[in-house]
Amino acid sequence: MNFRGDATPYQDLLRCIATEEMGHVEQITNTINMLFDGASNPTTQPDDIPLSVALDSPNIHHFLVAVQSARPVDAARNPWSASYVYDSGNLVLNMLYNLMLEATGRLQKCRLYEMSNNKAFRATVSYLIVRDLVHEKVFAQALETLGVNWGKALPVPRIDTDKMPEVKDLENKNLHNIMWTFANNGEPNGMAKIFKGDSPFDDGGTLEVLEGFPEGADIPMFPEAPQEFSPGLDTALKKMAAQVTRK
């Protein structure tokens, strides 16, 4: 990670957030895969068209390329790249930009929440809404330590999530005020020198840094999809794969 100087507390907070964001990618990927599971069904009838649903999909590549699973593209189907990465080399400017990005991301996730009442979808989106709020607080606190009156320079939108029960449930567990170090071997982490005290927003609560990482969950395993010719193993290959699995 690009960072010059010895202001390690800021480097630590960036590393903690970056680590968590990688977990969010995995979480979103598995949610997308769960939503796609069952979108088509295998058939033994030669006249059936099991993948016709793909023609009605906003992005046919989820069926044509990714076998009804997630792809590393944005909502406009643009492949992920480093073209959207901003880095000025200036600590204050980078903190301001990250605060803006977290606020924008949370705003868009609140809009996503209103697009579907699917329980798996809303569970993931609600968690990300809460965690984006925490990250906003991290960057707000960092700016305050650098003498930046961010509240006037960049007023953070006050988004009302009171009508989102899944969000309220997570906030009742104080997940909107907690950051993890993602290390559990006693290594010093300077983020606690910044992320402390009362919440910088008007939502109440006390900021807290916990050693370790949040409790995870099992990665869902999805069945074979013969209508997609996936995993595409014939009898001999299945036997070889089974031997490896048993080891």
Before 42, cis peptide (omega within 30)? no
Longest dimension (CA), the chain: 70
What pLDDT, in 10s, does the model give residues 225-246? 999 999 999 999 999 999 998 8
Cβ neighbors of 104 (< 8 A, separation 6 or more) are: none
Indicate whether 1 pLDDT > 60.
no
Per the CB < 8 A criterion, the answer to whether 101 and 156 are in contact is no
Output the average pLDDT for the chain.
Answer: 92
> Residue 67: is it exposed, middle or buried by C-beta count within 10 angstroms (0-12/13-18/19+)?
middle
How much helix, strand and coil, in percent to the nearest 5, is found in the chain? 50, 5, 45
Identify the three-state secondary structure at position 56: helix
Q: Could you confirm whether domain 8-246 is CATH 1.20.1260.10? A: yes
Per the CB < 8 A criterion, the answer to whether 28 and 219 are in contact is no
Query: How many Cβ atoms are within 10 Å of 137's Cβ, its own excluded?
Result: 23
What pLDDT, in 10s, does the model give residues 175-200? 999 999 998 888 889 999 999 999 99
What pLDDT, in 10s, does the model give residues 38-80? 999 999 898 999 999 999 988 999 999 999 999 999 888 889 8
Strand partners, 237: none
Distance CA 33, CA 27 (A): 10
Indicate whether 81 pLDDT > 70.
yes
Strands (E), 15-80: none
Identify the three-state secondary structure at position 206: strand
pTM: 0.92
User: What per-residue confidence (pLDDT) applies to 76?
Assistant: 87
Phi, psi (rounded to 5 degrees) for 206 = -115, 135
